[in-house]
Structure 1
Amino acid sequence: MDATDEAPSPHVFVTGADLTRLACDAWVVPTDRQLRVSAGWQAAAGEPGPPPDDFRTGSPRAFVEAPLAGDDRLRVWTNLGAAFGEPLQWFVEGAREAVALAARHLAEHRHASAEQVFPRVAVPLVGAGGGGGRFATGEIVRRLLPALETVAQEGGVDVYLAIRDRRTYAAVQAARTQLPNSPFARQLESSLLAEGDRLAALAREGQLVLFIGAGASQGSGVPDWPRLLDLLAADGGFSDEERVLLQAENALDRARLIGMRLKHAGQPLGPLVASLVKATHRSLTQTLLASLPVSQVATTNYDQIFEHASQDIDVPCSILPYAPGDRGERWLLKLHGCVTHPEEIVLTRDDYLRFSSRRAALAGIVQALLVTRHMLFVGFSLQDDNFHRIVHDVRSAMPAAAGQEGLGTALFLHDRKLLAELWRQDLIITSVARPSVPNVVASRRVAMLLDYIGMQSAGGSAHLLDPTLEGVLSAPERELAGALRGLVAELSAEAWATPAGGRLEGLLREFGLQERTRQ
């Protein structure tokens, strides 16, 4: 049976993210028997209420509290602060108990929103921080992954394992590839996995760039295009009847009509748009994209979700055209403006007509990426007029630019045979579901494919020489790590001081070397 014929089943997603800012239905807050919480966690989770009577004696290990004001995520306070001598399995059992409790509570008292297939429970990598298991993080990872998979299936929830440290993220992804039964094979057909392998290889080789559309921000509370226009129309004083009539107009004309009403009322359109597209949480799709090893990204979105998600995992972005001098590890090109510069937001037909004259240099950057890299489109409909001009210019100037691989790959929810035919000379159209599959299920399959690409593109070497992560290494990797540590111990200070020694040290630090000492 093809994977697309089977009903969805719960999944454990792994993403680079700040757990406190991740969009979900419930999140695990690490504490100890005395309910002590670190300052960072407390700033996001607030003060815990009175625990169950036996919490301080160690059973139960977790309890649930209602969301904070202005938030909609349940808080699952969990005792993850180990006493001296606790076995590593103690951390794993704490995470399992927390997820199981959250799953029961969500099933009894809450439901996943209409935008979700399963309730979502976000968890940290237990024991890796101040819990007491930091020096055996690798072994905890090896035990935790199958435990989370089991409790997700039993509880009927999706689990988001959020990791901020890139070295630990690489170790977790490497450990996932060693699991005996791949959860991806159960839910994604072989052709999609092959696409994932192709895109992951491009990412590892530094050839993949991203183009992010509005669909990637869904789940962050940011309205999609039709909803945004409707909210603007309401603010512009359109009656209910007029708002219905607006639906018949072209989207750009709708935006222009709304802008005219707002201008007449003395209310600029840009600042109002900016106020409506600000998000407090990061969607899973955006964090999965931010976790990929890419350094060049373009977007038509006004929101700041991607750059914030990137900053959360210590991958700062230079924002073009607003901060081109910043020395971030990646840059993000904002084609249609940003909430930080509302006067430059591109929304109406007049804005689009001005684009070619005012933002030609930005379009040129996208054209260069299309010609020299492979662009992955996520959440983008390919209907944007400015993008059509960009591709037209590439076709005209360099007819053979697309080649066999095309200029890029566009991920779509449903099978779009005619769209694939329309773009076949330029783009690979990859659809994740049949037309009969509900949007919410198809959107989750896109996230699963991005999760798979993240796993396959993580590289598997950033943790090689980190002794705290040794537990996830295979036997050949342990042999290699031992040999490299021996080399580090044998070389003299004079050898390290040579140009070649400096380059070798840089390479070893990429493998997770923290200190070099000669024994």
Structure 2
Amino acid sequence: MTHQSEQDIRSDHRGDDRAGEGHLFIVHGRLDAIASTAVVIPADAPFSVGDHWKSAAGVPADQDWSTLRPVGWGRFSVDPLDLDIAPGDPQPWIIDSIGWTPDKVGEIAARTVAEIVSRTGDDLWKAAGRAKLGAPVIAMPLLGSGRAGHAHDRGRLAESLVQSLSAAVRETGVDVMIVASSASDYAVLQHVRRAQLAEHRLFAGLRPGLITQAQSLAAKVANHEVALFFGAGLSMGAGLPSWSGLLQELLKGLDSDLTWKEVERLPTLDQGEVIEAEARRAVDRGGPSLGERVADIISRAERPSLSHLLLAGMQIPSAVTTNYDGLYERAVENAGRTGDRREIAVLPWQDVSATGPWLLKMHGDVNHPNSIVLTRNSFVSYDSRWKPVGSVVQSLMMTKHLLVVGASLTDDNLIRFAHEVATLRRQLTEEGSTFAEESDIGTVITLRPDRAFERLWQRQFAVVMAGTDDEAGAPESGSGPSPGHARRAAARSMTIFLDAVAMFAARAPSHLLDARYQVEDDHLVESLRDAYQEALARGATHDGWAALARALRQFGAGEE
């Protein structure tokens, strides 16, 4: 292949202002379990590739990497892998990621982004449009951190990658996601971003004031004051349909004589009621139930969205959703504190452990199709079957700051729960109780400014307007931005805001005493690492010293 210089590549895109500046995201998870437009797989000039990257690239486990070696492969190569890509899966790119210094690795990462954008052109944006994204997302691991790279100089590596990729996304207009597989890598990347926040304009695309709001929310997250509530808007970024899109697909699969144009004239819940009636006729003919049909559609999405990953990285222990899918659970399980799978209990079907996270599914789950709530009758009779579920939601409203993401607050039961809690708190306040003066229940993140919505909920929720009225998303035709894509761009702004919250909330100290993350010589770090070794030795015969060694190990003192 022919390699363009970095200057030539950037020149090709200076006139391309379709999405303005891109954004650099940091997430904690696994590269093979993330929804993106393209994914970068590291290799070297001789084309040595680890088998552990096969899943992320979509390569069958029994296929040898040598069969996929691109023509002309060599030093500094950047090439797409010639594979049959399933709809919705990212295009894998393989690169020679070997750089002699951390700074060189950063340059390679930036050049990779520029070359992917240059060689894909409009196809990259069209793929983003099909995935309902406001801009293409290129996912990559912490390049240069393998055994042949700079595994023992991860602090400088993180600095180089954040600085170089921040410049690359500004130049190209695409988004890049660094996927950290360990808690320590995630923590140091977030630390570096906080340090470079002003110098490199890392969140320049957010509306004025949103950084301050992100810091305020992050402080609550870090102090374990927050519970999470999320809706269908979170899963649309993973390729799942909206509520109306789900109903349309259900109707289409029922071979009904009704058209969607006829059904959509009805109130939302009555639309579900009509479709359930049509499904019952299909069941009488031997077809699957409505719940089974819903589960079949929802289960097609296997990779969590970027928003799922950002929320999972916040380590919020309690969450509630109206979604049926299992994408948030997958994101949480792949973002464990120690890099291991972090089990999450799904209520009301599983027991909650004393220390593990849990997710309450208000409207059912794809693994339990008969539990799915879709129709007016299901909502009207909700209390008779699901009253304990409502009590859990209301207890979170009473005891936590509820962060609402991807939900429009149109669910009748949720509205009732919120009004009952807010009314009780106001009555108790009148009797002398001292609740906080801020909004009673929590914070709602919305896609765009809506003054009427804000005033409607001002007594119950603080409202964060993440998007703007005039935002536009990625074009499908390649002709430039259009108002028809405003929702995608607003959703992207919400995701960037969540990234800011996650950055400020990431205060895990697991890298603090780890030698691999030290950028400069630090006498205190060396002293504490020596103290760990001595405490470890004394701990063999004394529980107190053993406890001190365990405490220092949590800060990375045991890592070489």
- DSSP 3-state at the match of 2:80: strand
Deviation at 1:243, TM superposition (A): 1.3
| Aligned equivalents of 2:70, 2:259: Cα separation in 1 | 54
Is 1:317 aligned with 2:344?
A: yes
Contact 2:528 2:557 in 1 (8 A): no
Is 1:468 aligned with 2:516?
A: yes
Is 1:391 aligned with 2:418?
A: yes
* Number of residues of Structure 1 aligned to a counterpart in Structure 2: 501
Deviation at 1:320, TM superposition (A): 1.2
- Which stretch shifts more, 103-112 or 365-374? 103-112
Give the aligned partner of residue 75 of structure 1: 92
Contact 2:467 2:491 in 1 (8 A): no
Give the aligned partner of residue 282 of structure 1: 304
Give the aligned partner of residue 408 of structure 2: 381
> Taking structure 1 as the reference length, what is the TM-score of the superposition?
0.90
Deviation at 1:63, TM superposition (A): 1.0
CA, structure 1 residues 97+395, in 2 after alignment: closer, same or farther (shift >3 Å)? closer
- DSSP 3-state at the match of 1:27: strand
Give the aligned partner of residue 327 of structure 2: 305
Deviations 1:244-294 (A, max 9, x none): 011111111110110111111113110100111121222111111111131
Give the aligned partner of residue 476 of structure 2: none
- DSSP 3-state at the match of 2:466: strand
Code of the residue aligned with 1:17 in structure 2: it is: G
Deviations 1:213-272 (A, max 9, x none): 110111211111010011111122234x63101111111111011011111111311010
Give the aligned partner of residue 491 of structure 2: 443
Give the aligned partner of residue 3 of structure 1: none
| Aligned equivalents of 2:536, 2:32: Cα separation in 1 | 45
Picking from 4, 22, 37, the partner of 2:34 is 22
| Aligned equivalents of 1:247, 1:211: Cα separation in 2 | 27
| Aligned equivalents of 1:55, 1:80: Cα separation in 2 | 13
| Aligned equivalents of 1:492, 1:433: Cα separation in 2 | 52
> Taking structure 2 as the reference length, what is the TM-score of the superposition?
0.84
User: What are the equivalent positions in structure 2 for 1:79-228 lying under 5 Å apart?
Assistant: 79-80=96-97, 86-107=100-121, 109-112=123-126, 113-114=128-129, 115-179=132-196, 180-228=198-246
| Aligned equivalents of 1:505, 1:190: Cα separation in 2 | 45
Deviation at 1:194, TM superposition (A): 1.1
Deviation at 1:459, TM superposition (A): 0.6
Is 1:35 aligned with 2:35?
A: no
Picking from 443, 446, 466, the partner of 1:409 is 443
| Aligned equivalents of 1:456, 1:43: Cα separation in 2 | 31
Deviation at 1:500, TM superposition (A): 4.2
Picking from 234, 242, 257, the partner of 2:259 is 242
- DSSP 3-state at the match of 2:407: coil
CA, structure 1 residues 213+265, in 2 after alignment: closer, same or farther (shift >3 Å)? same
| Aligned equivalents of 1:512, 1:366: Cα separation in 2 | 37
Deviations 1:316-339 (A, max 9, x none): 211111121556631111111111
Deviation at 1:431, TM superposition (A): 0.9
Contact 2:70 2:81 in 1 (8 A): no
- DSSP 3-state at the match of 1:513: coil
| Aligned equivalents of 1:443, 1:381: Cα separation in 2 | 13
Give the aligned partner of residue 65 of structure 1: 81
CA, structure 1 residues 335+402, in 2 after alignment: closer, same or farther (shift >3 Å)? farther
CA, structure 1 residues 276+345, in 2 after alignment: closer, same or farther (shift >3 Å)? same
Give the aligned partner of residue 372 of structure 1: 399
Code of the residue aligned with 1:103 in structure 2: it is: V
Contact 1:318 1:327 in 2 (8 A): no
Deviation at 1:66, TM superposition (A): 4.8
- DSSP 3-state at the match of 1:111: helix
Give the aligned partner of residue 462 of structure 2: 428
| Aligned equivalents of 2:468, 2:101: Cα separation in 1 | 47
Deviation at 1:139, TM superposition (A): 1.4
| Aligned equivalents of 1:155, 1:64: Cα separation in 2 | 18
RMSD of the TM alignment (CA)? Answer: 2.4
CA, structure 1 residues 301+489, in 2 after alignment: closer, same or farther (shift >3 Å)? same
| Aligned equivalents of 1:109, 1:237: Cα separation in 2 | 34
- Which stretch shifts more, 394-403 or 367-376? 394-403
Picking from 23, 43, 51, the partner of 1:11 is 23
Code of the residue aligned with 1:210 in structure 2: it is: L
Deviation at 1:106, TM superposition (A): 2.5
| Aligned equivalents of 2:506, 2:311: Cα separation in 1 | 12
CA, structure 1 residues 95+328, in 2 after alignment: closer, same or farther (shift >3 Å)? farther
- DSSP 3-state at the match of 2:152: helix
Contact 2:227 2:403 in 1 (8 A): yes
Task: State the identity as a percent.
Answer: 28
Contact 1:138 1:470 in 2 (8 A): yes
Picking from 493, 504, 509, the partner of 2:548 is 504
